[in-house]
């Protein structure tokens, strides 16, 4: 029981939708924006609201255009939020199924780190006082060579030499026990 619309009636409908758009577009857009918080989405849904109104007005008599526009906008907002929620649910389900590695170090790793820390502390403690101070200022405090040179009233070259000396001493201390351990393992396997 569809009713044919002649060209004259279509012109009247289009003029009516244009007038409604000018009259209610800002009001509808603001309402949608308040619910979604996105200007772009509000603009898109406002446009779709008037497109749906235009389509419906060709099929039926609309007694209260403003109320009908609000009903369309509300339905579009609900549909939009459902789509977003559905997408988020799928993402959350996927994230829950992904196995994340345990980032907590094993007891063995903790012991190795603790042992290396003790060795490093011992190596730094064995450095001459001036070298130790320069090394700590650079590697622990994070000062630049220029800042250290100014602070200690020495040249930048001297700072570099002390840092290199400290690095070599620490490397030696850390690898010394490692070589002993490797040598002991090699001896046992022979």
**129/165 Cα distance (integer angstroms):** 12
With 60 as the cut, is the pLDDT of residue 182 above it?
no
Boundary of a domain, candidates 34, 62, 97: 97
Q: What is the pLDDT of residue 177?
A: 57
Based on the domain organization, do 90 and 111 belong to the same domain?
A: no
Mean pLDDT, to the nearest integer, of 90-118?
69
Q: List the Cα angle 126/132/138 in 5-degree steps.
A: 140
With 80 as the cut, is the pLDDT of residue 154 above it?
yes
Based on the domain organization, do 34 and 85 belong to the same domain?
A: yes
Boundary of a domain, candidates 58, 74, 97: 97
Q: Is residue 173 part of a domain?
A: yes
What CATH code is carried by the domain that includes residue 154? Answer: 1.10.10.10
Based on the domain organization, do 126 and 71 belong to the same domain?
A: no
Based on the domain organization, do 84 and 152 belong to the same domain?
A: no
Cα distance between the two ends of the chain: 98
Boundary of a domain, candidates 59, 78, 97: 97
Per-residue pLDDT tens for 2-19? 444 444 444 445 567 788
- Classified as helix, coil or strand, 106 is coil
pTM, full prediction: 0.42
Based on the domain organization, do 93 and 163 belong to the same domain?
A: no
- Confirm if 138 and 159 have CB atoms less than 8 A apart: yes
- Confirm if 72 and 53 have CB atoms less than 8 A apart: yes
Q: What is the pLDDT of residue 178?
A: 52
Based on the domain organization, do 169 and 116 belong to the same domain?
A: yes
Tally of domains in the chain? 2
| pLDDT more than 90, % of the chain | 31
Domain that holds residue 77: 7-97
Q: What is the pLDDT of residue 161?
A: 93
Q: Is residue 182 part of a domain?
A: no
- Classified as helix, coil or strand, 154 is coil
Based on the domain organization, do 87 and 111 belong to the same domain?
A: no
Residue 107 confidence class, pLDDT cut points 50, 70, 90: confident
Q: Bigger pLDDT: 8 or 141? A: 141
**181/32 Cα distance (integer angstroms):** 70
CA dist list (Å): 14 to 48, 50, 51: 15, 11, 11
With 80 as the cut, is the pLDDT of residue 89 above it?
no
Lowest mean pLDDT among 37-51, 83-97, 121-135, 136-150: 83-97
Q: Is residue 45 part of a domain?
A: yes
Q: Is residue 42 part of a domain?
A: yes
Based on the domain organization, do 15 and 83 belong to the same domain?
A: yes
Count the alpha carbons within 13 Å of 122 in the hemisphere toward its beta carbon.
12
Based on the domain organization, do 77 and 152 belong to the same domain?
A: no
Mean pLDDT, to the nearest integer, of 147-155?
94
Mean pLDDT, to the nearest integer, of 111-115?
84
| CB burial of residue 185 (10 Å; 0-12, 13-18, 19+) | exposed
CA dist list (Å): 157 to 96, 134, 188: 55, 12, 46
- Confirm if 134 and 148 have CB atoms less than 8 A apart: yes
- Confirm if 137 and 143 have CB atoms less than 8 A apart: yes
Q: What is the pLDDT of residue 173?
A: 82
Q: Bigger pLDDT: 152 or 56? A: 152
Based on the domain organization, do 22 and 44 belong to the same domain?
A: yes
Q: Is residue 93 part of a domain?
A: yes
Q: What is the pLDDT of residue 188?
A: 44
Based on the domain organization, do 18 and 88 belong to the same domain?
A: yes
Q: What is the pLDDT of residue 109?
A: 82
- Confirm if 38 and 65 have CB atoms less than 8 A apart: no
Q: What is the pLDDT of residue 5?
A: 45
Kindly give the interhelix angle for 39-57 and 65-97, rounded to the nearest 10 degrees: 130
Q: Is residue 154 part of a domain?
A: yes
Based on the domain organization, do 112 and 167 belong to the same domain?
A: yes
What CATH code is carried by the domain that includes residue 48? Answer: 1.10.1740.10
């Amino acid at each position: 029981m569809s009713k044919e619309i002649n060209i004259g009636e279509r012109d009247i409908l289009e003029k009516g939708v244009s007038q409604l758009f000018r009259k209610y577009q800002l009001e509808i857009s603001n309402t949608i924006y308040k619910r979604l918080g996105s200007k772009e989405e509000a603009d898109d849904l406002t446009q779709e609201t008037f497109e749906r109104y235009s389509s419906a007005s060709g099929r039926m008599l609309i007694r209260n255009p403003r109320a009908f526009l609000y009903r369309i906008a509300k339905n579009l907002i609900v549909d939009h939020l459902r789509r977003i929620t559905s997408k988020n649910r799928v993402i959350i389900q996927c994230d829950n199924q992904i196995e994340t590695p345990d980032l907590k170090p094993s007891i063995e790793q903790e012991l190795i780190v603790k042992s290396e820390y003790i060795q490093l502390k011992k190596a730094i403690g064995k450095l001459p006082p001036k070298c130790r101070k320069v090394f700590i200022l650079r590697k622990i405090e994070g000062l630049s060579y220029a800042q250290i040179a100014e602070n200690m009233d020495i040249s930048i070259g001297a700072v570099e030499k002390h840092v290199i000396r400290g690095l070599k001493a620490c490397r030696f201390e850390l690898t010394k026990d490692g070589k002993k351990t490797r040598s002991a393992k090699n001896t046992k396997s022979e």
